[in-house]
């Protein structure tokens, strides 16, 4: 993880070439790690998350994102989400982006802007 600081807010940026969140427990472990290190937000790329996360039927995204909300750690997922054809996922992304606690954005720069 790489530290980003925006207006005295500590943001953890996940830097990896591989999948970091492959199952629900991985997402919860990441949350625990950043929470106990005092980070207030996380930026992670779509490529670092298993495609299963984006299939809302299995509940993985809901469980992980609910924990991020409960612990008040903001999350920005970066990537191109247009390749997902699910209307429910598109609606979920739209609703999440309206609340700005969990955001799906195209780039790291957009993620940093959300946190500022």
Q: Where are the domains of the chain?
A: 2-115
pTM assigned to the model: 0.94
pLDDT computed for residue 75 by the predictor: 97
Phi/psi at 54 (nearest 5 deg)? -85, 5
In the chain, % of residues over pLDDT 70? 100
Asked whether the predicted pLDDT for residue 48 surpasses 90, the reply is yes
Averaged pLDDT, 4-17: 92
Question: What is the rounded distance in angstroms from the CA atom of residue 101 to the CA atom of residue 16?
Answer: 23
- What is the CATH topology of the domain spanning 2-115? Transcription Regulator spoIIAA (3.30.750)
């Amino acid at each position: 993880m790489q530290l980003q600081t925006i207006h005295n807010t500590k943001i953890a940026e996940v830097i990896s070439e591989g999948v970091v969140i492959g199952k629900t427990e991985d997402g919860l472990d990441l949350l625990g790690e950043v929470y106990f290190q005092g980070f207030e937000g996380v930026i992670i790329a779509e490529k670092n998350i298993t495609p299963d996360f984006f299939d809302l039927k299995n509940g993985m995204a809901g469980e992980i994102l609910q924990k991020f909300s409960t612990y008040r750690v903001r999350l920005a997922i970066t990537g191109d989400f247009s390749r997902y054809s699910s209307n429910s996922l598109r609606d979920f992304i739209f609703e999440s982006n309206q609340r700005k606690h969990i955001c799906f954005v195209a780039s790291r720069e957009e993620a940093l802007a959300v946190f500022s």
